Amino acid sequence: MTIKYILFDLDGTLLDTNNLIIESFQHTYRQHLNKEVTREYILESFGEILRITLERECKDCVEEAIETYRRYQIENFDRLITIHTGVKEVVKSLYEQGYKLAVVTSRLNESALRGLKHFHLESYFECMIGADDTDRHKPDPTPARMALEAMGGTPEEAIMIGDSPFDIQCAQNAGIISAVVSWSALPPEIYMVHKPDYVIDSMEELVEIIEELNRK
């Protein structure tokens, strides 16, 4: 087996956007529903496409709620976003070793690119598939397949890393090795039920897993 292509989720995997997402939802529900919600309540829909969540929560004001959410994110992006430990170093190393890297995210491309640029990561990724590239989203395999097609790869040559059940299922549905990060904001019982191939405790461990797979 030879791994050549590495697909990363963005939110919660490479970048810590948890507080940004949670505060954005809380602000939106406060504005449109006069409703206070807990962090745990919001975590239940983590990884889901924004429109799907807000269509369920704000049936009568979906477009307005989406606009409120996105405006809050734009205004508070730099204040609330951070990068997970080891991400920049490992991503740079993988790129320099010749691996082809992609971001597969449920975030809009413009917003995802802003996050990558904020931490000077954008040049390491050959491809990015965002929410505006397809109307079929994780856990559907389409976004992962689109990324591989854009890079000229096959599922057998790839591994996909994420932090939610949506990421694990997307990889599995596409026939790609799945890995979940233990720094996910979700409790392990939420994602372990989907039986990812690997659980990684650090970005350095991801490198070890890829090297192990390439020795098989």
Residue 145 has which token pair? 């397949």
Predicted confidence (pLDDT) per residue in 183-212, tens digit: 999 999 999 999 999 999 999 999 999 999
Residue 157: pLDDT band by 50, 70, 90 thresholds?
A: very high
Catalytic residue among 9, 11, 16, 163: 9
> Is 80 exceeded by the pLDDT of residue 54?
yes
Rg of the chain in Å (alpha carbons): 17
H or E, element range at 162 = strand 158-162
The pLDDT value given to residue 197: 99
Do residues 12 and 163 make contact, with C-beta atoms less than 8 angstroms apart? yes
Residue 216: pLDDT band by 50, 70, 90 thresholds?
A: confident
Give the span between the Cα atoms of 139 and 87, in whole angstroms. 24
Query: Does the annotation mark 140 as catalytic?
Result: no
Residue 204 has which token pair? 């350095």
Residue 177: pLDDT band by 50, 70, 90 thresholds?
A: very high
Instruction: Write down the mean pLDDT value for the chain.
Output: 96
Among positive and negative, which fits the CA dihedral 54, 59, 62, 68?
A: negative
The pLDDT value given to residue 47: 83
In the chain, CATH 1.10.150 covers 18-80
In the chain, CATH 3.40.50.1000 covers 5-16+82-215
H or E, element range at 149 = helix 142-151
pTM: 0.93
CATH class in words for 18-80: mainly alpha
Give the span between the Cα atoms of 179 and 216, in whole angstroms. 17
Q: What whole-number percentage of the chain has pLDDT above 70?
A: 100
Predicted confidence (pLDDT) per residue in 77-120, tens digit: 999 999 999 999 999 999 999 999 999 999 999 999 999 999 99
What is the CATH number that goes with domain 5-16+82-215?
A: 3.40.50.1000
Q: What does the pLDDT average to over 38-64? A: 93
